[in-house]
Structure 1
Amino acid sequence: MKNITTLLMLFLATSAVMANVSPSEKEALVKLYKSTNGEQWKNKWDLNTPVTSWYGVKVQNDKVIGLDLSDNKLAGELPSEISNLANLQDLKLFKNGLTGNIPSTIGNMKALRSLNLAFNKLTGTIPASIGNATNLQTLELYMNRLTGEMPASLGNLKQLKVLSLYNNEISGNIPASVYGMTSLKVLLLNSNKITGKLSKEVANLSNLENLSLFENNMDGQVPFDLEKIHGLKEMNISYNMFSGLVSRNLAQLDTLNMTMINEQGVAAVLPVQADKNSALAADDE
């Protein structure tokens, strides 16, 4: 029995060493290494060793399924060839020095479930092709320098639970398609340059637990329909230019108590509807 156990362990160890990935996947990783100044990474790769030994690379059944190089001093642009990691499920490049645009080829990564490029120096717009990565459940691009409008194609991400785009320079309205992303639990769009009204269709986000829109340029009436999202635990929509009455329930839910910036640039708290906790209840009377 001892001999059999020894042979089994030897076989497993040999298999791990012999495990390899496709040439296209290895080429994509090498391209990433070279385009992001790999020689200066905190945890470098020895390109002469098997891919299975490279820091942050997760291989399963000879396929690269995970890549986590967070806080690893990557500097430079993401290569378009990154999409050759066709089996990648999780890509985490958080807190590095990445610059340039998010490559449009990112939408070709059909197996991707989690994408975290937050806390970098990425510029340009969010590519519309992102809507093709329909298996995404988490999309985190916060703390970058992204500009332009949110692409309407985000609405194609029907499995998305977390959309975190805060602290960028994103402008324009929230696309109507976003209000159809009913799987969303977390929607963080604060500290951007978003304009327009918050649609009453926000009530369609029935699974939403955390909504943050503060420090934008949105206006109009705060929709009472927010009260229909019964699972909403955290909300901050202050420091916009919303107007009108709000219910006591909504005012208490907002962490800054509905403090808005008026046309004169002065901070003011929105008036709470007198003697009514719920505006929806008031409307039903």
Structure 2
Amino acid sequence: MADPLLSFSLLLLLSLLLSTTTTTTADDAATFLKLASALTPTPKGWSTTNSNDYCNWNGVKCDNSNNVISINLATQSLSGILPSELSTLSQLQSLSLQENKLSGALPSLANLASLREIYIGTNNFTSIPQDCFKGLTSLQTLSMNDNINLESWVISTDLTESSSLTTFEASNAKIFGTIPDMFASFPSLQNLRLSYNNLTGGLPPSFANSEIQNLWLNNQEMGLSGNIEVLSSMVQLSQVWLQKNQFTGPVPDLSMSKNLFDLQLRDNQFTGILPVSLHSLPGLLNISLSNNKLQGPVPQFGKDVIVDNSGLNNFCVDTAGVACDPQVTTLLEIAGGFGYPVTLSDSWKGNDACSGWPFVLCDSSKKTVTTVSLGKQHFGGIISPAFANLTALTTLKLNDNNLSGPIPDSLAKLSQLSLLDVSNNNLTGKIPSFATSVKLTTTPGNPFLGSGGGPGSGGAPSPGSDSNTTAPGDGPNGKGIGGKKVSPGLIAGIVVGLVIVGVIGLFLLFKINIKKKRGKSGRVKDQENGDGISALVTNDSSCCTKGYGVLSEIQSQSSGNHSGRNIFEGGNNVISIEAF
């Protein structure tokens, strides 16, 4: 015979399940009555008075328990304000309301854990609740393009809870602020479309190594900025729209993106030489480059590639595939070491470096570069070894920038070089062995250059150079102590130090003599807290030499006969400090 208690428990559990199902069904029915009443015109087949048959209404799908799992009212010219009760459709999986005239606040969809698809684009919604997309743990597609009446809003990081997201489309949707650095949370994201908004700042680092294939960030109101180097690691890219922004720097190597067929870069501030690897991408069909500050030769693409290069750029020549003059090529390589700054792109135009290029001087024949003066330009980056290709260079000024890395060894091979100023930078490493005829200035600045004390450093300065300004004739016969050049500042410092040591020694001897005559010592007044403070140095301390004691340690004497007494121990004598 069955256990009565077990039977009662099973009946109770079944009753609770039926009650929950009935309650959920009743909630869904009530929600649809409110939804039907809110929409104009009422969707075909819907009722505003009786919801008994809501699962059979047009565009509505339910599961076997009459829970609504799908609403599809796309493209029906519907207007009205959606009721907040939409958030009670706990089993909803798909919501398609795109291409209507719905207005007012979008109701919160938070915590609809079964919701996989949201299509609400091309409507007249006016605001989005702060928690609207929180807890959507099953979400795969969020499409809300063309909601031009929205109040400005920022992309919420609540979306990181939607780890299965594959498509996020919110173009022309009044988004402002930066793109959150949250894309490591979306391992399956393939489509990101955020065009025609007011996004600013740079591309987030978490784009790196993502699965994004289609990236649309074009036509921002003020413009995204910074470089686009992160694209080089986005190997799944097939379509990239970055036009009409404020991106700068060179176009990166995209050779790993074998599926890239459409690349839109026009109307930015890209500089530098376009990578040769871009010319030979196997699937490239369409590329736009116009209205940038690109340099070097005009790129030559395959005959099947549609190229928009009609606007402004700073190419050295006008004909695709024609190389630049060798000196121009060298100077562009030098600019590349600095990251191709806009200043040099705007200044170094044409194919003749001796035609009045700023920062460049040539010989009397106007054929050969002899001086490059790029001091105080706030450039970052490195000193390019390509300077060595300017074989007639006599003067090179790179002072007061933010350059890092070493001074290239190749610069020491410039036989005509007479002046090199790299002061006030952040250079490191070993200083090359320049000829004694070269006036080399490395300081102030460059604290780790030649010292072995910084990243990439390579030891002490080499012969013929030092950490200050050196030139032939400095000191007797151009040399200082030990045959090496010594700066006047260093000599002055040594002399002052010796004088100070001598004065201290005489002072100590005088006080020792006074101590012997007095034969006694006084006391130091206690500190405000009543504790005496003593400074003790023993004769064998590592800081002391030749019998001279130096105050090196402060100790609190809290007990005993010495609690209020300061003692100086120098040589073989112990002296009370108050005698000073």
TM class, shorter-length: 0.7 to 0.9
CA contact (8 A) 2:201 2:226 kept: no
TM-score (norm 2): 0.40
Q: In the alignment, is residue 200 of structure 1 matched against residue 200 of structure 2?
A: no
CA contact (8 A) 1:185 1:209 kept: yes
* Aligned partner (choices 29, 49, 52) of residue 55 of structure 2: 52
Give runs of aligned pairs for residues 122-271 of structure 1, distance below 5 A: 122-125=125-128, 127-145=130-148, 146=150, 147-205=152-210, 207-216=211-220, 217-247=222-252, 249=254, 253=260, 255=262, 257-261=264-268, 268-269=291-292, 271=294
Task: Using the TM superposition, give the Cα deviation of residue 254 of structure 1 relative to its aligned residue in structure 2, in angstroms.
Answer: 8.2
Q: In the alignment, is residue 24 of structure 1 matched against residue 31 of structure 2?
A: no
Give the structure with higher Rg (CA). 2
| Pair 114,102 (structure 1): closer, same or farther in 2 beyond 3 Å | same
Q: Could you list the per-position Cα deviations for residues 61-119 of structure 1 after superposition, in whole angstroms to 9, with x for gaps in the alignment?
A: 12211110111232111111001111110011111111112122x11311101011111
CA distance in 2, matches of 1:244, 1:87: 49
- Aligned residues: percent identity? 28
CA distance in 1, matches of 2:168, 2:296: 32
Q: In the alignment, is residue 63 of structure 1 matched against residue 67 of structure 2?
A: yes
CA contact (8 A) 1:142 1:165 kept: yes
Task: Using the TM superposition, give the Cα deviation of residue 272 of structure 1 relative to its aligned residue in structure 2, in angstroms.
Answer: 6.7
* Aligned partner (choices 84, 87, 90) of residue 86 of structure 1: 90
Point out which structure has higher relative CO (alpha carbons under 8 A, 6+ apart).
1
| Pair 222,272 (structure 1): closer, same or farther in 2 beyond 3 Å | farther
| Pair 211,272 (structure 1): closer, same or farther in 2 beyond 3 Å | farther
CA distance in 2, matches of 1:273, 1:111: 54
CA contact (8 A) 2:171 2:196 kept: yes
Which of the two has greater helix per residue?
Answer: 1
| Pair 257,222 (structure 1): closer, same or farther in 2 beyond 3 Å | same
CA contact (8 A) 1:153 1:177 kept: no
DSSP-derived class of the 1:271 partner:
strand
* Corresponding position of 1:74: 78
Task: Using the TM superposition, give the Cα deviation of residue 253 of structure 1 relative to its aligned residue in structure 2, in angstroms.
Answer: 5.0
CA distance in 1, matches of 2:296, 2:206: 22
DSSP-derived class of the 1:30 partner:
helix
* Corresponding position of 2:44: 43
Q: In the alignment, is residue 97 of structure 1 matched against residue 101 of structure 2?
A: yes
Matched residue type, 1:63: N
Question: How many residues end up aligned between the 2 structures?
Answer: 251
CA contact (8 A) 1:182 1:204 kept: no
TM-score (norm 1): 0.79
CA contact (8 A) 1:99 1:120 kept: yes
Q: Could you list the per-position Cα deviations for residues 13-41 of structure 1 after superposition, in whole angstroms to 9, with x for gaps in the alignment?
A: xxxxxxxx71100111111111223xx14
| Pair 270,30 (structure 1): closer, same or farther in 2 beyond 3 Å | farther
CA contact (8 A) 2:192 2:215 kept: yes
| Pair 57,125 (structure 1): closer, same or farther in 2 beyond 3 Å | closer
Task: Using the TM superposition, give the Cα deviation of residue 261 of structure 1 relative to its aligned residue in structure 2, in angstroms.
Answer: 4.5
Q: Which ranges of structure 2 fall in alignment gaps of 5 or more residues?
A: 1-23, 270-289, 302-335, 337-580
CA contact (8 A) 1:120 1:143 kept: yes
CA contact (8 A) 1:71 1:96 kept: yes
